């Protein structure tokens, strides 16, 4: 008996991570409709009203301009995979139930995919995205509880911001950071956690976030701390802290040395 075609997905942003996920969707039988960054998104979506999922794979700084262009009829089909992602980032656009993923694999141009730990996914399109990653031997799992997923997003934010910002001071990889500059890493992470708490309006379990960050370190000890976007991440965190009235002394001290 012939199997029916799987549902088609749209993909906005076909960079390294978006390209990997599109490959996984194709491998699990989902046709993929690419939507270029310069395309009028609403017009493109109007031409494909039956898309089952809409993966937004643009960078953090481009997320707001993209979400502003997406009609509300698509909100429950959205899949968001950005770093520095928290519920307020989608709720301010009126989006209540997107699928969100905390991506724990690295993909550099010309290099194979490198998973660190399993990537958690939450929301109505979670199963399809999990299957897409697993088809490429990328560990992934579904998270059904919204509070658990909030913690997963916060863990990834603590990992990214701590390594990038502390890495401006230390250089090197995460093993070097944790083995030789652990107090700096802990102080930076404490600042980041306070920022996360202010952004979500509730307290978080600091030890669980630190433990999650360290699991990421253990998943790839040679992962370089400081990517190209580290200065922008630090500037963004300081700006958000200023708006929310959050004191971040460790990060401010690093910023004062690296302006």
Q: What's the number of CA atoms in the CB half-sphere (13 Å) around residue 120?
A: 18
For residue 2, the model assigns a pLDDT of 38
CATH of 9-144, one of 3.40.50.720, 3.30.70.2740, 3.40.50.1100, 3.10.420.10: 3.40.50.720
Render pLDDT for 208-256 as a digit per residue (tens, 0 to 9). 999 999 999 999 999 999 878 899 999 999 999 999 999 999 999 999 9
CATH of 147-257 given 3.30.1050.10, 1.10.10.10, 1.10.1040.10, 1.10.3720.10? 1.10.1040.10
Per-residue DSSP letters for 130-183? HHHHHTTT--EEE---HHHHHHHHHHHHHHHHHHHHHHHHH-SBHHHHHHH-HH
| pLDDT < 70 regions, the chain | 1-5
- Per-residue pLDDT of 37-62, as tens digits, reads 788 999 999 999 999 999 999 999 89
Domain boundaries, the chain: 9-144, 147-257
Q: Please tell me whether residue 122 adopts helix, strand or coil conformation.
A: strand
CA Rg value for the chain: 18
- Do the two domains 9-144 and 147-257 of this chain adopt the same fold? no
């Amino acid at each position: 008996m012939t199997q029916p075609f799987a549902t088609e997905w749209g993909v906005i942003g076909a960079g390294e991570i978006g390209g990997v996920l599109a490959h996984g969707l194709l491998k699990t039988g989902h046709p993929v409709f690419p939507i270029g960054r310069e395309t009028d998104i609403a017009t493109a979506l109007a031409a494909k009203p039956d898309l089952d999922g809409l993966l937004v794979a643009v960078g953090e700084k481009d997320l707001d301009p993209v979400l502003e262009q997406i009609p509300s009829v698509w909100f429950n089909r959205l899949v968001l995979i950005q770093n520095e992602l928290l519920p307020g980032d989608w709720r301010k656009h009126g989006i209540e139930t997107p699928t969100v993923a905390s991506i724990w694999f690295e993909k550099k141009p010309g290099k194979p995919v490198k998973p660190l730990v399993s990537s958690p996914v939450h929301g109505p399109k979670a199963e399809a995205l999990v299957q897409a990653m697993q088809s490429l031997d990328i560990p992934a799992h579904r998270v059904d509880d919204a509070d658990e997923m909030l913690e997963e997003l916060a863990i990834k934010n603590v990992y990214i911001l701590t390594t990038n910002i502390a890495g401006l001071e230390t250089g090197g990889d995460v093993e070097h950071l944790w083995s030789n500059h652990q107090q700096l890493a802990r102080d930076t992470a404490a600042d980041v956690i306070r920022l996360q708490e202010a952004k979500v309006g509730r307290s978080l379990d600091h030890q669980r976030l630190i433990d999650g960050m360290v699991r990421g370190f253990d998943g790839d000890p040679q992962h370089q701390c400081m990517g190209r976007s580290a200065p922008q991440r630090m500037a963004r965190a300081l700006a958000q802290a200023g708006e929310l009235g959050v004191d971040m002394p460790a990060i401010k001290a690093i910023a004062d040395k690296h302006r």
